[in-house]
Amino acid sequence: MKGATNELRPVQTTVSGRVLPRFSTMRTIVALCLREVTTSNGDTAGGYMWSVVSPVIGIIGLSYIFSAGFRTPPLGENFAIFYATGLLPFTMFRSVCGRVEFSIRASRQLLNYPRVTVFDVLISKFIMATITQAAISALVLAFILYFYQPDTTFHIVQILQSFIVAALMGFGFGVMNCAVKTKLPLWEMLWNFVSKPLLLVSGVIILVESLPRPYSEWLLWNPLVHITGRMREAFYVDYVGSYTDLRFPLEIALVSAFIGMAGIKLFARELLDT
């Protein structure tokens, strides 16, 4: 591309003017993912491996301690599998949301290359967080199923549904938080307060059915309850999660992703100036 015959056109900025991805976007996303694999955890021997291994050890360790303390979980016989089936989809949401939310701040220097657009960064962080979390989940479940041999079923379709919706919702909330924070820095604090007790009200440890009437109905407004409910359905034959409706979290994911994308497009200048 050179010579005076070419038309003048606007310079490509770090927020691409087009909605549909260009070909270079695919290439950039792959490059960003490779970069993340090579650079995570700095120079530590093992590098990226630790991003997968250390949460696995953490979750298995916690579930071991819990199963020593609580002999009978609210569901089934084995505490480890009960805890894992609730926690894994929940952390899928949590970690994808966190990674996407801070992706722009973490990759600020990358945006000095105008070829890398804000959306490339968001998508690559989403892909890497999802892959990492999927690997963690697979390892934890495999470990528990192999060593504890709990009396559970394994419906792969429902498991995938639960994880995919959790990841999508993580992306939606991540992008939305990222956009809203640009205009309202206080949002970050607010989100901290909202998300802290999320573990307790998302059906991870406390099941919806175990709560008295008005509260259990309120809890259904939390989209994460539907995601963990679907996961439990996949593992427990006798668990009738008739309340689970994955359309609700999916709708929330779509709406929040839309708000986030629109917000980033609108506030792109501010996002890059900071």
User: Residue 43: exposed, middle, or buried by beta-carbon count in 10 A (0-12, 13-18, 19+)?
Assistant: exposed
Output 7 or 238, the one with its CB closest to another protein: 7
CA dihedral 245, 248, 249, 250 (to 10 degrees): 100
Alpha carbons 212 and 215: distance in angstroms, whole number: 6
Q: Which is nearer to another protein, 132 or 158 (CB)?
A: 132
Least gap, CB of 125 to another protein (angstroms):
15
Contact 218, 208 (CB under 8 A): no
**Based on CB atoms, which residue is closest to another protein, 34 or 194?**
34
CB 194 within 8 A of CB 260: no
Q: Which is nearer to another protein, 2 or 247 (CB)?
A: 2
Rounded to an integer, what distance in angstroms lies between the CA atom of residue 28 and that of residue 23? 9
In the complex, minimum distance from the CB of residue 56 to another protein, in angstroms, rounded to a whole number: 23
Record the tokens describing residue 242, joined without a space. Answer: 């008739």
Residues contacting residue 190 through CB under 8 Å, at least 6 positions apart = none
For residues 77 and 151, is the Cβ–Cβ distance under 8 A? yes
Phi, psi at 71, each rounded to 5°: -65, -50
Q: Which is nearer to another protein, 70 or 113 (CB)?
A: 113
Distance between CA atoms of 40 and 267, rounded to whole angstroms? 29
Least distance CB 103 / another protein (angstroms): 15
Closest separation in Å from C-beta 182 to another protein: 12
- Footprint of another protein on this chain (CB under 8 A)? 1-2, 4, 6-15, 24, 27-28, 30-31, 34-35, 38-39, 42-43, 109-116, 268-269, 272-273
> CB 190 → another protein: shortest distance, Å?
21
Report in angstroms how near the CB of residue 24 gets to another protein at its nearest. 6
Specify the residue, 42 or 212, whose C-beta has the smaller distance to another protein: 42
Alpha carbon distance 180, 174 (integer Å)? 10
Burial of 220 (0-12, 13-18, 19+ CB in 10 A): middle
Distance of closest approach, residue 46 Cβ to another protein, in angstroms: 14
Of 27 and 105, CB closest to another protein = 27
